[in-house]
Chain A
Amino acid sequence: QVTLRESGPALVKPTQTLTLTCTFSGFSLSTSGMCVSWIRQPPGKALEWLARIDWDDDKYYLTSLKTRLTISKDTSKNQVVLTMTNMDPVDTATYYCARSNVGVPDYWGQGTLVTVSS
């Protein structure tokens, strides 16, 4: 059974760095074709893909946020970590991690709401 769970702070201050952890089970990020992505959704708005890390440690980022994002994995812990620097109130959103198998995000975590406010 594939499960993913996001964890991290619910509230961050402007200019701070956000660190989110995706802890998963039911698959290995060492398996060829497996990837984990981060997607966010501001309240009442559409989904926005942010970043992806592949089984071979290739990493991909949303162009407009590339300078602020870092994605990494710890295969032994079954975790993927996303950091986003210089947080702003417009970054307030629910952040999801999702597994992709051969390119299609098929399992998602329940999401974690991050509010950026002083």
Chain B
Amino acid sequence: DIQMTQSPSSLSASVGDRVTITCRASQSISSYLNWYQQKSGKAPKLLIYAASSLQSGVPSRFSGSGSGTDFTLSISSLQPEDFATYYCQQSYSIPRTFGQGTKVEIK
């Protein structure tokens, strides 16, 4: 199984900050990487697919990059509604493993 490792596990940031979350795969997954946002008590929401494609309806302040084993999710200017937990997931092979999550908290 492919292991997905996110860093950091949590971070504190202020509204307006630029935030970057990284995700590393234990082997190359090409660009088969998705990012999700999950707010407390809610289902995950797809933000980015295929490493850098923005899902319809997702604000353009979210962006993704990377290929192979190293990926990043960036939020250009953090908004109050962005405080949540973010997960990466590989869609290269079965099982479709997730990272352990990165919690973005208010500073």
Question: A residues touching B (Cβ–Cβ < 8 Å)?
Answer: 37, 46-49, 52, 60-63, 96, 103-106, 108-111
Interchain CB contact (< 8 A) of B55 among A37, A60, A106: A106
The answer to whether A104 and B98 have CB atoms under 8 Å apart is no
> When chains A and B are docked, how far (Å) is the Cα of A110 from the Cα of B39?
12
The answer to whether A63 and B91 have CB atoms under 8 Å apart is no
> Which residues on A sit within 8 Å (CB–CB) of B49?
104, 106
> Which residues on B sit within 8 Å (CB–CB) of A49?
89, 95-98
Interchain CB contact (< 8 A) of A46 among B45, B46, B99: B99
Known contacts A46-B100, A49-B97, A63-B95; is A108 also within 8 Å of B44 by CB?
yes
Q: B52: CB under 8 A from chain A?
A: no
Residue of A nearest to B49 (CB): A104
The 6 sampled A-B contact pairs (Cβ below 8 Å) are A46-B98, A47-B44, A49-B96, A49-B98, A104-B46, A110-B43
- Distance (whole angstroms) from the CB of A75 to the closest CB of chain B: 22
Known contacts A46-B99, A48-B98, A49-B96; is A104 also within 8 Å of B43 by CB?
no
> Which residues on A sit within 8 Å (CB–CB) of B43?
96, 108-111
- Distance (whole angstroms) from the CB of A114 to the closest CB of chain B: 15
Q: B101: CB under 8 A from chain A?
A: yes
The answer to whether B101 and A62 have CB atoms under 8 Å apart is no
Q: Which of B6-65 contact A (CB under 8 A)?
A: 32, 34, 36, 38, 42-46, 49-50, 55
